[in-house]
Amino acid sequence: MNNDDFRAWSTRAAQWGVDYREGLRERHVRAPLVPGKTLNALPSVPPEKAEPMEKIFADFETLIVPGMTHWQHPRFFAYFPASAAPPSVIAEYLVAAMGAQCMLWQTSPAATELEIRMIDWLRQAIGLPEGFGGVIQDSASSSTLAAVLTMRERALEWHGNSQGLAANKQLRVYSSNLVHTSIDRAIWISGIGQENLVRIPTHGPLQSMDPAALEAAIVADKAAGYLPAGIVACVGSTSVGSTDNIRAVCEIAQRHGLYVHVDAAWAGSAMICPEFRHFWEGVEMADSIVFNPHKWLSVQFDCSAHFVRNPDDLVRTLAIKPEYLKTHGHDGVVNFSEWSVQLGRRFRALKLWFVLRAEGLEGLRRMIRNHVQWAEKLAHRLNAEPDFEIVTQPMLSLFSFRYAPKGAGDLDALNLRLVNAINDDGRIYLTQSHFDGKLVIRFQAGHSDMTEADADVAFDTIVEIARSLENEKKTA
């Protein structure tokens, strides 16, 4: 491809992106689930000779796009959002064009220094005190893994990497049973082991870890010869938005010398609004915090903000400095590859810079406040229907509900049929979860292009399809 072709196809791809976004409301949110349809349409062997871009682009439109779930659809209410505001998309074009590898300061000085500044902008935006440093990781899973490795090394007095776990006491880490499975994976990969992730029961309207039970578990483990290493607390869990009492957790951790990592992957974005910061009161006492601007700040995936109170601990855990990665003659530079598990790093800070400048904190706050308001209104409307129940009240813009008509029998089966029927219908996209032994349906508002009318469509769709299922049963 020569430069003229590159210019022409770049223009066409950008135009396609605009047209795609404009037409999303006309598409089903989720692709039809037909396993193997795309795979079987693709040649089983790679091409020996170059193919024309016209054919490649046509195949993209006919073979790939119809099999995609449309995460940028304004009625994507499943999982958590992964909005990519237009300024973020434009920044990603530029990143892709430059193809920079940002592992060291010297490999892309501006990328490193922009990342330092963007982390500090985010720190200020969410109200963290000065002194917290940070790094942009790919996802909360990587941030949490880095945090668990750090708590492991600190508990083992920095001998874990050199001696291995077998030479030391058995470690223990504590969390509720409602945290994201990324915590489990971090425990696996770190070598601590699933059996040493101690699950603390939850209680209260926010399904918080019971502080008394947490401290009792730590004391009991110490007495039994275990070595408690740290606590993973949660603000806005994926399932139903469970949120721990961060101050209480941190006070317990300080009494016992434990590391605290706060997983606020989704809800952390809402902390740009001062009125929501009570949900993580005491967070300044934590050792590390993660939230994902790629979830609720309209920044293109992947972009995870990992804050640490003591960056030296993170670097001491992860840094390896062979000669070929050293920067001679420039003291005091930051090499972010020493702050993460992976060596190679994308230029993630650019899209964050574009979005924060193009939207402004004021615009992002307005968006988040609207999402919270619209979710609360939808929960209220469903709760007013005689055959629906709200299982977990809105935590910010996330709540769960069930269809529960009288005499319906197996409500879990009915609600699974309901969520599948809703998603097959295509107007909206929801996901299910389990809470308190029951299957529930989650609703989460978060897409940057969502309007209040989209929440109204959600209500109409949910009620219409639920009643149609019940009518089918009566006429069967």
Q: Which pLDDT belongs to residue 321?
A: 66
Instruction: Note if the pTM is more than 0.85.
Output: yes
Instruction: Find the mean pLDDT for residues 335-357.
Output: 89
Please say whether the beta carbons of 173 and 187 come within 8 A: yes
Whether residue 444 is predicted with pLDDT greater than 60 in this model: the reply is: yes
Distance between CA 281 and CA 127 in Å, rounded? 11
Q: Which long-range contacts (CB under 8 A, 24 or more apart) does 422-427 make?
A: 422/461, 422/462, 422/465, 423/29, 423/30, 424/32, 425/28, 425/461, 425/465, 426/27, 426/28, 426/29, 426/30, 427/28, 427/29, 427/75, 427/457, 427/461
Of 32-46, 311-325, 352-366, 373-387, minimum mean pLDDT range: 311-325
Q: How far is CA 371 from the centre of its chain?
A: 17
Whether residue 360 is predicted with pLDDT greater than 90 in this model: the reply is: yes
DSSP element (H, E) containing 395: strand 388-395
Output the six-digit token pair for 433: 């979860």
Whether residue 326 is predicted with pLDDT greater than 60 in this model: the reply is: no
Of 78-92, 313-327, 345-359, minimum mean pLDDT range: 313-327
Q: How confident is the model at residue 332 (pLDDT cuts 50, 70, 90)?
A: low
How many CB atoms sit inside 10 A of residue 369's CB? Answer: 15
* Cβ-count burial 151-171 (b if 16+ within 10 Å, e if not): bbbbbbeeebeeeebeeeeeb
Whether residue 382 is predicted with pLDDT greater than 90 in this model: the reply is: yes
Render pLDDT for 411-433 as a digit per residue (tens, 0 to 9).
999 999 999 999 999 999 999 99
Average pLDDT, the chain: 91
Whether residue 344 is predicted with pLDDT greater than 90 in this model: the reply is: no
Render pLDDT for 157-193 as a digit per residue (tens, 0 to 9).
899 888 888 888 899 999 998 888 888 999 998 889 8
Q: Which pLDDT belongs to residue 474?
A: 62
| CB neighbour list of residue 51: distance below 8 Å, 6 or more residues apart | none
Distances (CA, A) of 293 to 49, 149, 416: 41, 23, 31
Render pLDDT for 14-26 as a digit per residue (tens, 0 to 9).
999 999 999 999 9
Q: How far is CA 396 from the centre of its chain?
A: 15
Q: How confident is the model at residue 475 (pLDDT cuts 50, 70, 90)?
A: low
Phi, psi (deg, nearest 5) at residue 429 = -135, 125
Q: What is the CA radius of gyration of the chain?
A: 24
Render pLDDT for 216-247 as a digit per residue (tens, 0 to 9).
999 999 999 999 999 999 999 888 889 999 99
The residue written with tokens 């040649």 in the block is: 43
Instruction: Find the mean pLDDT for residues 77-87.
Output: 89
CA–CA–CA angle 302, 267, 180 (5° rounding): 75
**% of residues, the chain, pLDDT over 90:** 71
Dmax over Cα atoms in the chain, in whole Å? 81
Domains of the chain by start residue, with CATH = 1-30+69-82+362-476 (3.90.1150.170), 36-67 (no CATH), 100-346 (3.40.640.10)
Select the more confidently predicted residue: 53 or 409.
53
Q: How confident is the model at residue 329 (pLDDT cuts 50, 70, 90)?
A: very low
